[in-house]
């Protein structure tokens, strides 16, 4: 049960981070600065994620990536 709880906590954490990043993107766009956000909460494949759930490891790690791209040609 603990791996499921851990994943749900990670999902909530990622949701909060994504909301804050989207606020930043919105503010930059309103300021006339072109930018984009790519948010991938889980970088592992589904197969690897299931392997981590059933593995008997104590230090399981799930990682993702957030990329904020700012168009430097439009920054003052």
Task: List the chain domain ranges.
Answer: 2-74
Contact 18, 39 (CB under 8 A): yes
pLDDT band at 57 (very low <50, low <70, confident <90, very high): low
Distance CA 75, CA 70 (A): 8
What pTM was estimated for this model as a whole? 0.72
pLDDT band at 76 (very low <50, low <70, confident <90, very high): low
More confident residue, 60 or 13: 13
Q: 31 in helix, strand or coil?
A: coil
Mean pLDDT comparison of 15-24, 42-51, 59-68, highest-scoring range: 15-24
Contacts of 49 (CB under 8 A, 6+ apart): 42, 62
User: What are the DSSP E strand ranges found in the chain?
Assistant: 35-40, 65-70
């Amino acid at each position: 049960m603990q791996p499921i709880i851990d994943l749900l906590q990670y999902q909530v954490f990622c949701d909060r981070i994504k909301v804050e990043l989207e606020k930043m993107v919105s503010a930059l766009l309103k300021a006339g600065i072109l930018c984009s956000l790519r948010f991938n909460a889980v970088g592992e494949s589904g197969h690897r994620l299931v392997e981590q759930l059933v593995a008997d490891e104590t230090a399981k790690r799930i990682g993702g990536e957030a990329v904020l791209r700012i168009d430097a040609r439009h920054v003052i």
